[in-house]
């Protein structure tokens, strides 16, 4: 069997979670006397991703030079391709000294337990102008109505950089048992399944007919061994469907409508950035770390509102810096719609003999609207069994 694709920028995965339980206990005990810094949710999500090996080969939080270099050029100062700065920005700037070890506290767990230990390599101030300039590069906009921008501008002006040791994965293993998995665990699943060509499908929503068919098209056209349906389990924006509901809906769809042993469902602990093209690149980096050879990049991938063109997230993969850095390839998806002529979901570019009236357009927003109003979803939109799970959730609100 062919080997899995190599991790990004490294021969092996580099998870920063401390596996040794004795060492972990010692660090937790020692942390009681350390200076404490309460993380924001974005930094806590970075800790989970670093701990779980998704952000291989990074060893901790970037300093100002690296953060700005990544924002501007998508390269660290040492020339490693990285699409989004991985930073610990805080409003807390007291008693932080280079060389000190500090205890990072989890904002998303009751009692704010220690989630990681960070050895400070630098404490730097980032001005508001610098933060706005970085936001412009990362999100392509500085409009504070963009949820990712609003969050980024609110994090603070003190940047604490340095390597970290991760002590736990926050709320993810408890809230999503059997779904949350680390990059090494996913690689292990792929090896066990005997897959060498795996397509990753990124989702923060339940999967409708369009999503299901996209996965099947990718499987078929790439002659792949299987699909990794990989869910964002972290903080979403208001109105997005909670992880557990999404989980049940996806599991039901896979159980009934996919051939056996062609799908692995899993999830990762990260907060959505809604950063469009840059986030699509980050999705590609950590899917390569999971061992996936391909990533489905659809219309307005990781976007929000009208901030990005429908195919910006695909076009960014054509940049030289990306092509020279990633081993993973993308499967570019067009607008999908239900064809009344063919009685199935198709990519619109493939249906040359169709007029506009031959299609039923499938939209997640439309689905949410109908469910909120207690309307039954048509079969062109969602499988009956999936629609029932979603309807039950919306009626409980």
Residue positions annotated with a catalytic role: 204-205
Phi and psi at residue 104, to the nearest 5°: -95, 125
Are 39 and 105 a contacting pair, CB within 8 Å?
yes
Distances (CA, A) of 3 to 6, 54, 191, 384: 8, 19, 9, 39
Question: What is the sign of the dihedral through the CA atoms of 24, 28, 29 and 34?
Answer: positive
* CA 6/CA 279 separation, integer angstroms: 21
- β-bridge pairing 114-119 and 89-90: unpaired
CA-to-CA distance for 379 and 119, rounded, in angstroms? 54
Angle, CA of 245, 45 and 268, to the nearest 5°:
45
Rounded Cα–Cα distance for residues 123 and 50 (Å): 20
Phi-psi region of 223 (alpha: psi -120 to 50; beta: other; left: phi over 0): left
State how far the Cα of 123 lies from the Cα of 121, in Å rounded to an integer: 7
Strands 89-90, 60-61: pairing kind: unpaired
What separation in angstroms does the CA of 294 have from each of 63, 168, 200? 31, 29, 6
Dihedral over Cα of 209, 211, 216, 218: its sign: positive
Rounded CA-CA distance 277/10 in Å is 24
| Residue closest to 180 by CA, chosen among 113, 243, 237, 116 | 243
């Amino acid at each position: 069997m062919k080997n899995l694709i190599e991790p990004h920028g490294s021969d092996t995965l580099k998870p920063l979670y401390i596996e040794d339980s004795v060492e972990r206990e010692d660090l937790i005990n020692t942390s009681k006397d350390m200076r404490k810094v309460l993380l924001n949710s974005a930094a806590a999500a970075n800790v989970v991703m670093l701990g779980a090996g998704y952000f291989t080969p990074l060893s901790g939080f970037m300093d100002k030079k690296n953060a700005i270099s990544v924002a501007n050029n998508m390269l660290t100062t040492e020339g490693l391709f990285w699409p989004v700065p991985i930073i610990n920005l805080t409003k807390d700037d007291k008693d932080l000294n280079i060389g000190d070890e500090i205890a990072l506290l989890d904002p998303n767990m009751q009692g704010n337990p220690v989630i990681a230990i960070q050895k400070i390599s630098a404490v730097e101030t980032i001005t508001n102008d610098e933060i706005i300039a970085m936001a412009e590069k990362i999100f392509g906009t500085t409009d504070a109505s963009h949820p990712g921008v609003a969050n980024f501008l609110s994090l603070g002006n003190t940047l604490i950089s340095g390597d970290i040791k991760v002590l736990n994965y926050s709320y993810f293993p408890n809230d999503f048992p059997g779904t949350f998995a680390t990059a090494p665990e996913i690689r292990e699943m792929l090896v066990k399944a005997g897959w060498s060509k795996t397509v990753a499908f990124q989702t923060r929503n339940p999967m409708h007919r369009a999503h299901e068919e996209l996965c099947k098209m990718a499987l078929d056209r790439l002659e792949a061994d299987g699909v990794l349906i990989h869910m964002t389990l972290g903080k979403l924006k208001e109105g997005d469907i909670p992880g557990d509901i999404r989980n049940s809906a996806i599991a039901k769809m896979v159980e009934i409508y996919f051939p056996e042993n062609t799908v692995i469902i899993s999830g990762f602990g990260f907060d959505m950035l809604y950063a469009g093209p840059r986030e699509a690149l980050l999705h590609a980096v950590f899917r390569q770390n999971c061992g996936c050879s391909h990533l489905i990049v659809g219309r307005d991938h990781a976007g929000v509102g009208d901030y990005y063109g429908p195919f910006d997230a695909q076009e960014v993969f054509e940049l030289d810096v990306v092509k020279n850095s990633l081993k993973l390839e993308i499967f570019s998806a067009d607008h999908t719609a239900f064809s009344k002529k063919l009685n199935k979901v198709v990519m619109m570019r493939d249906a040359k003999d169709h007029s506009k009236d031959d299609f039923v357009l499938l939209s997640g927003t439309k689905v949410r609207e109908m469910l909120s109003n207690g309307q039954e979803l048509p079969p062109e939109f969602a499988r009956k069994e999936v629609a029932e799970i979603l309807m039950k959730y919306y009626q409980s609100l």
